Amino acid sequence: MGKNYDVPAERQAAYYIGMLMLVIGLILFISPMCTAVDAVRESSDSFLDKRTGNPMLSSEPGAMFQTHRKVTDSLPLALVGMGLFAVGAILMSVGRSGPAGSGLVLNPRQEVEDLEPFSRAQGRMLGQMLDEALPSDDSGSAIKVRCRHCRALNDEHDKFCGQCGQEL
Ligand SMILES: [Zn+2]
């Protein structure tokens, strides 16, 4: 059984597309907020009498309606942005950990396979830590040859002693 240890290309693509959707969704979600704030500020300015600073409700009766329309017009865009954001987040998670690894599909066996690149990376880190922690001439089954001249231990394939340089 040939094992693919790398994250598949389609999952990488899903991750990056998800990230893109997340960013676009965020922009779509935030920009209507800005227009809404702007519209409210604009209209509240026009409601104030320029000389006295008092509200003058009699003038421009359509202004309030205008503001309301601007805000409601931008509301669907904010919802689309929220949707994009959510879908993007799911795509990123699926791309990162695979459909089972991200919990989208309940399949423990597939989950282990999906998360293999990550668990393997962790295993490799653990292996490196063990390599550093353990003394190097304790490395298991390698056959050692003792030098006849200085009694130092050498690998069985070595031609010359690493300690004294004499032929083994
Ligand atoms: Zn030697």
Ligand 1 centroid – CA 168 distance (Å): 7
Q: Give domain limits for the chain.
A: 9-103, 143-168
- Taking residues 76-102, what's their average pLDDT? 86
Ligand 1 centroid – CA 134 distance (Å): 24
Give the SS3 label for residue 55.
strand
Residues 47, 49, 50, 54, CA torsion sign: negative
More confident residue, 74 or 91: 91
Ligand 1 centroid – CA 15 distance (Å): 57
Name the strand (E) or helix (H) holding 144: strand 144-146
Say what the pLDDT of residue 1 is: 41
Question: Residue 18: pLDDT above 60?
Answer: yes
Ligand 1 centroid – CA 140 distance (Å): 22
Ligand 1 centroid – CA 27 distance (Å): 71
pLDDT, one tens digit per residue, over 50-69 is: 666 666 654 555 666 666 77
Ligand 1 centroid – CA 157 distance (Å): 14
Ligand 1 centroid – CA 75 distance (Å): 83
Residue type, 101: G
Which of 39-53, 67-81, 124-138 has the highest mean predicted lDDT (pLDDT)?
A: 67-81
Ligand 1 centroid – CA 109 distance (Å): 53
Question: How many angstroms separate the Cα of 30 from the Cα of each of 16, 24, 45, 90, 151?
Answer: 21, 10, 23, 20, 75
Ligand 1 centroid – CA 146 distance (Å): 8
Question: Residue 118: pLDDT above 80?
Answer: no
Name the strand (E) or helix (H) holding 155: strand 153-155
pTM of the model: 0.49
Give the SS3 label for residue 153.
strand
Give the SS3 label for residue 2.
coil
Ligand 1 centroid – CA 167 distance (Å): 8
Say what the pLDDT of residue 49 is: 63
Question: Residue 142: pLDDT above 90?
Answer: no
- Phi, psi for 47 (deg, rounded to 5): -85, -15
Question: Residue 112: pLDDT above 90?
Answer: no
- Taking residues 89-96, what's their average pLDDT? 88
